[in-house]
Structure 1
Amino acid sequence: MPPSEDQQTDELKKAYDAVCKKVLAEKGIIANILKSCVKEFEDSSIDEIVHHCIQGTPEVGTVLVEPDAGITRIQNVQTEDKSSTEGTVFYDIRFTALAPADGQPIELIINIEAQNDFNPGYPLLKRAIYYCSRLISSQYGTVFTKSHYEKIQKVYSIWICTAPTKAWSYTITRYSMKEENLIGQAEAPNSDYDLLTPILVCLGKKHYTELTGLLKMLNLVLLDNISSDSKVKTLSEEFKVTTTPHLEKGVAKMCNLSEGIEKRGISIGKAEGISIGKAEGISIGETRGETRGIVRSIKALMRKSGLTIDAAMDILDVPEADRPRYAEIIEKGIH
């Protein structure tokens, strides 16, 4: 039995996500992320980060790790932590990096996640904090053993969100632990408590030419509908990302898969939109409960077909004058 339209679309999306993670794992792209987001790299050049800081080859969701089973773990390639009590956690991209601190190198364990769903049913920030916690706890048995907690390495979990709410669009937010004296003036070394940092990097609906810095680069790579040649050229000229056959192939595949997903989503969406609309009893402008039905239809179409809110409203023929109201209702529901 041939796969259904939904199954084919899901396979396209899985393939796109896999290629997306590999492109983001390019050292030149990682270097730009580190320089803009991680304070230890603020004064380092892209070239220095690429050639002297990033350790080994960043792994992309390929290594199975079972801490509770006593399996030996390799620090640079651990992309998944599996615990009998905590379930399974997959890391999109994981690697270690050396950064200068007081003239001495320090080792950081860094995790980068690409996230399409800004409202997966829980605060995304809490998941980022959980990932940081797992990155620390999984150091036992590799970075340190017994009571040598002084060897714990600082961790970062950087989340790149492609479809945040309007309030979060085009923001980069970093969270960290801080010392607070309640009584007296005791002072611990910053390195003893500044050990985990979640970061949210949020994009939006703008074209990359309207942006600057890291947001421009990520928007270009992940969201903009332009040729793969143009993307690679801009990455090389503006962001000092070395052009490699692997990068060219990855970006080209991303563009092809994105186009396929869009075409298939629109095709499915037209049929589903009509079906959903009928099921919800939608008749624009007729019933008192129309708003709830239309909102539910828009959200269902976005969820099932992977369309943007604007594309979903296009398919449902929502009048232009009514669109801001529905968009606002859906965004408020996201919070």
Structure 2
Amino acid sequence: LSGIIPVGVLLCLKTWMRRAISIETTIAKSLRLSDAMEAYDAACKKLLAEKRILAWIMKNCIREYQKLEIEDIAENYIEGKPQIAEVPVLPDETNAPRIHGIGTEDTSLYEGTVTYDVRFFAILPGSGEGVHLILNIEAQNDFYPGYPLIKRGIYYCCRMISAQYGTEFTDSHYEKIKKVYSIWICVNPPQNRQNTITGYSIAEKNVIGGAHEEMEHYDLLAAVMVCLGKTDELPQNGVLKLLGTLFSSNMSYRQKQQILQEDFDIQMTETLERKVILVCNLSKGLVEKGIEQGITRGILASLKNLMSNMGWTAEQSMAALNVPKTEWEGYLSMME
């Protein structure tokens, strides 16, 4: 090959191939982390869709269920099987009534696609007409994703209300609009939001005079932010401790099993056991991958600082930091 291709070109080609392999390795690591995060997110959705877990969330976050027992909510008020990002609903395609078969993906030709983590019907306590609440549960790791998270929660509520046209009511029968809830489980909130549950809803306020409307006519949406924190600072049987235990990356499965059974009377069925173990394993894998990426970013930042402040070459900087020579090409490719 060297007799056909000039030596200089061959050396450049070999250098380029080594760097391409290094770049590919870096991209592969990022993709593995992305795949792990996606798998973890899917596992969390399935865990949240367990009726006993949903019942705890509903009792602690939704006014209408606060006086009911957990078992009663799980058995009698959650209708059907919660759907987990499975069935699309296309409100722009048809005006035909579709009272049942609510989907987790709400698509509009004009507004784009919104995917809900867990979405289901719940029967409203005390209603003799079978009125339903429509609940949406979202698990969120990033409390500040570039916008106020509560605005997204309210937007989801609005989308769930507008999507009822053609499914819950037609024409001008707005009296049939059902109340919606968007509940956000925030796993890594900032310190000032940890161990808090905060609700945002529509309220009547008299500006002039004392007129009053029936509450059911305007109490149509509520967004609830559930922000987790350290579980050792919480009461034994609160929903914050329940969710904090489920999503903890520091607890073993056995520890979680003991807390679920003793503090929350949640017995481990075979299905629930598989879901909890999967979340445990995936969360630990994410921590390990996150640490690995954090170390890489730290070394890269140190190299750039040495090159900038000391005037050293990349090679001199890597030697000073004792970076193995087998990893030099990878760091060189990341600095380009």
Give TM-score, length-normalised by structure 1.
0.79
State how 1:90-129 maps to structure 2 within 5 Å.
Answer: 90-101=115-126, 105-129=130-154
**1:232 shift after superposition:** 2.6
**1:191 shift after superposition:** 0.1
Of 42, 47, 59 in structure 1, the residue corresponding to residue 71 of structure 2 is 47
- Match of 2:232? 209
- Match of 2:167? 142
Distance change in 2, residues 1:7/1:250 (3 Å): same
What are the ranges of 5 or more consecutive residues in structure 2 without an aligned counterpart? 1-23, 311-336
- Match of 1:62? 86
Identity %: 47
State how 1:15-94 maps to structure 2 within 5 Å.
Answer: 15-70=39-94, 73=98, 75-94=100-119
- Match of 2:206? 181
The one-letter code of the counterpart of 2:272 is: L
Separation in 2 of the partners of 1:165 and 1:66?
36
The one-letter code of the counterpart of 1:192 is: H
- Residue 106 of structure 2 aligns to a residue in which SS? strand
The one-letter code of the counterpart of 2:40 is: Y
The one-letter code of the counterpart of 1:14 is: E
Distance change in 2, residues 1:142/1:103 (3 Å): closer
State how 1:198-237 maps to structure 2 within 5 Å.
Answer: 198-204=223-229, 206=230, 208-212=231-235, 213-237=238-262
- Residue 239 of structure 2 aligns to a residue in which SS? helix
> Does residue 256 in structure 1 map to residue 256 in structure 2?
no
Conserved? CA contact 2:51–2:74, under 8 Å? yes
Q: Which has the larger radius of gyration?
A: 2
What are the ranges of 5 or more consecutive residues in structure 1 without an aligned counterpart? 288-335
Separation in 2 of the partners of 1:271 and 1:218?
32
**1:162 shift after superposition:** 1.1
Please list every run of at least 4 consecutive aligned residues from structure 1 whose deviation after the TM superposition is greater than 6 angstroms.
none
Separation in 1 of the partners of 2:138 and 2:95?
25
- Match of 2:187? 162
**1:198 shift after superposition:** 0.4
Distance change in 2, residues 1:245/1:77 (3 Å): farther
Distance change in 2, residues 1:222/1:282 (3 Å): farther
Give TM-score, length-normalised by structure 2.
0.79
Separation in 2 of the partners of 1:193 and 1:282?
62
Aligned length: 283
Distance change in 2, residues 1:129/1:7 (3 Å): same
State how 1:265-280 maps to structure 2 within 5 Å.
Answer: 265-279=290-304
